[in-house]
């Protein structure tokens, strides 16, 4: 069972051009699967017995070669993954992992064949998706087509300064950055959005990075899922006193370019 309506299904590029009657029929054949952050949706080398449609969350496609892993792309709501193995019968060419808590709709091979026989438009839609994906991949190789993600980490001693830092940053920028407030109580404006957890912040981040030159995430150092958040940013700025720097240093890590703004003596 799933709770996907024909209206929701019509938003997926895979099903564009299909009638509401056809979409209602297809929705009955879909299986809803949920994944926690880090869970594999499918693994490289497995037989491709189904495709997946991203319903919520953020999905990553990884190419795994021995001990090395390379991020190929990130997929958001409305996108499809796993269709090539389904079409060619070859093993899956990459692994698909939930970057955050995510929900996908699964369409198995036998059902897919039956649906395509009735609605060949789906094959045309897949061809369009593949061409657009190839163009996007080439485009990324030619130039950076996304903005810079910066995490501003505030220690408890200076979290009250977050609204002032947000205003000062906006005023100092030629192009006003987008700001994601992750629990610091910054006043909302058209260029600022509030999120309550890291999963939702990451989904918002992926969208904003294609719209703005810079996206700032304001977050407190005590945020439980801070390490997961930092794997998705390009740079880190920390506002901490000495005690907080020692306490939260492990969570912040040293794998990213980081600037430490030491605040007070620290106790």
Q: What is the CATH number of the domain that holds 156?
A: 3.40.50.300
Query: Between 121-142 and 109-118, two packed helices, what is the crossing angle to 10 degrees?
Result: 110
Domain boundary among 140, 159, 191: 140
Domain boundary among 77, 109, 140: 140
- Inform me whether the pLDDT recorded for 119 exceeds 70: yes
Domain-embedded: residue 96: yes
Spatial contact of 220 and 179, defined as CB atoms under 8 Å apart:
no
> pLDDT by residue (tens digit) across 211-220?
888 899 999 9
- Inform me whether the pLDDT recorded for 51 exceeds 60: yes
d(CA 91, CA 250): 39
Same domain for 131 and 181: no
Into how many domains does the chain fold? 2
Same domain for 204 and 131: no
> pLDDT by residue (tens digit) across 212-255?
888 999 999 999 888 888 888 888 888 888 888 888 877 776 55
> pLDDT by residue (tens digit) across 59-99?
999 998 888 888 888 888 888 999 888 888 889 999 999 98
| pLDDT at 45 (0 to 100) | 93
Same domain for 160 and 130: no
B/e letters for 182-204, b = 16+ CB within 10 Å, e = fewer, are bbbebeeeeebbbbeebbbbbbb
- Over its C-alpha atoms, the chain yields an Rg (Å, rounded) of 21
d(CA 216, CA 23): 39
Q: What is the CATH number of the domain that holds 130?
A: 2.60.120.10
Containing structural domain, residue 52: 6-140
Domain-embedded: residue 267: no
Q: Is 53 exposed, middle or buried (0-12, 13-18, 19+ CB in 10 A)?
A: buried
pLDDT mean over 98-115: 91
Domain boundary among 113, 140, 167: 140
Domain-embedded: residue 1: no
Query: Strand, helix or coil at 85?
Result: helix
């Amino acid at each position: 069972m799933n709770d996907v309506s024909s209206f929701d299904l019509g938003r997926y590029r895979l099903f564009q051009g299909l009638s509401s009657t056809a979409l209602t029929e297809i929705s009955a054949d879909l299986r809803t699967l949920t994944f926690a952050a880090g869970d594999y949706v499918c693994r490289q080398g497995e037989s491709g017995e189904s495709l997946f449609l991203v319903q919520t969350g953020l999905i990553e496609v990884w190419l795994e070669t021995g001990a090395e892993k390379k991020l190929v792309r990130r997929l958001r709501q409305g996108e499809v993954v796993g269709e090539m193995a389904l079409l060619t019968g070859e093993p899956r060419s990459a692994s698909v992992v939930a970057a955050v808590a995510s929900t996908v709709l699964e369409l198995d091979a036998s059902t897919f064949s039956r649906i395509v026989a009735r609605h060949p438009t789906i094959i045309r839609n897949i061809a369009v998706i593949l061409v657009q994906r190839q163009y996007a991949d080439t485009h990324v190789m030619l130039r950076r087509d996304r903005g810079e993600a910066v995490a501003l980490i505030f220690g408890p001693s200076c979290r009250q300064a977050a609204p002032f830092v947000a205003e000062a940053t906006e005023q100092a920028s030629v192009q006003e950055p987008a700001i994601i407030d992750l629990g610091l109580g910054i006043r909302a404006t058209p260029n600022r959005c509030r999120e309550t957890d890291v999963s939702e912040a990451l989904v918002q981040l992926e969208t904003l990075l294609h719209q703005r030159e810079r996206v700032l995430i304001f977050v407190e150092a005590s945020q439980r899922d801070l390490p997961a958040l930092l794997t998705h940013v390009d740079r880190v700025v920390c506002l901490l006193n000495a005690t907080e720097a020692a306490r939260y240093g492990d969570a912040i890590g040293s794998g990213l370019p980081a600037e430490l703004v030491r605040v007070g003596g620290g106790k």
